[in-house]
Amino acid sequence: MEKIADIIDSIAHEKGLSVEKVTEAIKKAFVNTAKRVLGEDLEFEAELDEKSKRINVYQKVLVVEDSDERAKEDPNRYITLSEAKEIDPNVEVGDELRYKVEFEKLGRTAAMRLHNEIEYHIQRLIEEQLFQKYKQRVGTIISGTVTRVDEEENTWVEIDEVKGVLPRKFRIKGEFFKPGDVLKAILKRVIVDRSYGIYLELSRTTPKFLEELLKLEVPEIKDELITIEKVARIPGERAKVAVTSHSPKIDPVGACVGVKGVRINAVSKELRGESIDCIEYSPIPEIFVARSLSPAIITSVKIEGEKAIVTLPADQKSKAIGKNGINIRLASMLTGFEIELIEKGSVVEDEQQKPAITLHDLFKD
């Protein structure tokens, strides 16, 4: 093929690929075509001639001893030493002789196969490049335009040069998208599929999505003045976020909420009205558990292994539990402790042998 080097440069520039990778892909296409046309069991190699800008394909034949039966059984792959020396007097056993393949003489079928092979290998290169590009963006927010919703209620999204899918199970309960809507979601993983090619799996239910939305709305988080320590979510209903400030001048909870709640409300709106509680993180488990049960006021907390025994006034118990138990579930998810509530002054409290740590004890000098 004439001036194949120019074609390689053109493909590399148009598709944003490296010249080296395109060259290897096209050489592989030539070798595969030669195998399909001349024999799958034959050995070929391709070389790019920089001067002529052509791809030259050679069939390789292994030199063996004159007594080696393989030369008789498979003369297309093996040649005896005596026969080889007639071609090249300096050849030795174990060397390879190369015969140039005249591609121009292989006909239209070979030309069509070569065209298809080149297309296939270039497409694989493009997919690999896209895979690596988006693999680096896993865990970040991706935006795209909804193109369709299939019969299984998976939402398909156009994202630059690839497609994304938001499976029904990763969609916030009660929300629905239609073609033309702009959708934001977290990139969960990059998938290469034989039928669909490369596509992105998205999620709007992962705690990471809430975390990334807060980073967009709160400059102090982006500037690393505030750190999001932990996030717990029941998608579409309620979430709790534990934050820490690295500056004594910055209130982490106030910064996340914003003036008149403008920052946290923007995040909540994106999450279909999900209620978000921001609390200040503490490395002291007792304090962290007490804060996680906000808005309930806690009297004391005692940690026993993976369990947190929380004592609180009777009128605070319903607040600690929350509607349908959602507050205590989120507090448990956030802290990692199984939380047991005990009303202050109850018989159960009196039977506790080990004294609990009160909040007064925790904060005193």
Instruction: Report d(CA 62, CA 178) in Å as an integer.
Output: 63
Residues 203 and 157: beta-carbon distance below 8 Å: no
- Beta strand 141-149 pairing with 182-193: antiparallel
pTM of the model: 0.76
pLDDT score of 237: 95
Q: Residue ranges of the chain with pLDDT lower than 50?
A: 1, 350, 353-355, 357-360, 362-365
Could you tell me if residue 137 is inside a domain?
A: no
* Same-domain pairing of 40 and 121: yes
Q: How far is CA 356 from the centre of its chain?
A: 44
* Same-domain pairing of 51 and 37: yes
pLDDT score of 184: 96
Domain boundary pick from 152, 185, 203: 203
pLDDT score of 362: 45
Residues 165 and 148: beta-carbon distance below 8 Å: no
* Same-domain pairing of 221 and 327: no
Domain boundary pick from 132, 151, 169: 132
Name the residue among 340, 342, 238, 241 with its Cα closest to residue 292: 241
pLDDT score of 193: 82
Count of the separate structural domains present in the chain: 4
Q: b vs e for 89-128, b when ≥16 Cβ sit within 10 Å of the residue's Cβ?
A: eebeeeeebeeebebeebeeebeebbeebbeebbeebbee
* Same-domain pairing of 350 and 315: yes
Could you tell me if residue 232 is inside a domain?
A: yes
Residues 113 and 36: beta-carbon distance below 8 Å: yes
* Same-domain pairing of 158 and 191: yes
Instruction: Report d(CA 300, CA 363) in Å as an integer.
Output: 12
Element (H, E) at 333: helix 326-335
pLDDT score of 2: 52
* Same-domain pairing of 233 and 262: yes
* Same-domain pairing of 76 and 161: no
* Same-domain pairing of 102 and 12: yes
Q: What's the half-sphere exposure (Cβ side, CA atoms, 13 Å) at 334?
A: 36
* Same-domain pairing of 225 and 315: no
**Residue-range definition of the domain harbouring residue 218:** 206-281
